[in-house]
Amino acid sequence: MAEDNNQELSHKQFIILGLVAEQPSHAYNINQRINDRGMRDWTNIGKSSIYRIIGEIEELGLIRKSYEEEVDNRVRKIYTITNFGMTVLKKKVYDVIGEFFGRKDEDFYVAFSMLPILTYEEQTKAFTKSLMKIKKHKRELEKMLAENSHMPLNVTGLFIHPIKILKTDIEFLEWVLEEIEKGGGKNEFKALG
């Protein structure tokens, strides 16, 4: 197991690592929290893949088995995040938020759900970076729309629709930054392990 701070996480590894980071967990508990939070409505993770993913991230040194408990005559392995795992997770959350470009992005939803892992300054910096990218992209599309305004509806509509979506994303990110400034992004995430 090589501890590479640039460890790339798959989408599913990202989800499971974040859930283990919140609290010591076993596979059944992870599945319950995914169900309780409605995560399958906005991300792609199946019940059967949880065990495989736990094995993958354990092999990478991101989590470790801390202890076992017996429940209903079944032994459950309880996992906690390692210091290396927390470093990798924090970097992933920061990078995903900072690189958000205003498109439907499952990793953005996962990263947003883990926002308290970042400090106030990191939250502000990541969302500001994303906001600037989206504003720039919106301006570029508006310029292209102006240059192609003589085109038929099926062409101009393909500029107008993403512009309106980006406008909504900008409003959302500005709201998030205001909430962070008010203390809404309070760091309550505790590394367990």
Please indicate, yes or no, whether residues 37 and 112 belong to a single structural domain of this protein.
no
The DSSP symbol for 146 reads: H
Is residue 190 in a domain? Answer: no
Which pLDDT score is estimated for 168?
94
Do 115 and 131 fall within a single domain? yes
pTM confidence score: 0.79
Q: Which domain holds residue 162?
A: 91-181
What 6-12 contacts at long range (C-beta under 8 Å, 24+ apart), as own/partner pairs, is 6/91, 7/60, 7/62, 7/88, 9/57, 9/88, 9/89, 9/92, 10/53, 11/43, 11/44, 11/45, 11/106, 11/107, 11/110, 12/44, 12/45, 12/49, 12/53
Q: What is the predicted pLDDT for the residue at 134?
A: 94
Domain boundary among 89, 123, 144: 89
**Last residue of one domain, picked from the residues 38, 55, 89:** 89
What's the number of domains the chain is made of? 2
Residue 6 inside a domain? The answer is no
Q: Are residues 124 and 58 in the same domain?
A: no
Counting as low any pLDDT under 50, the low residues of the chain are 1-2, 191-193
In a domain, 25, yes or no: yes
Q: Is residue 121 part of a domain?
A: yes
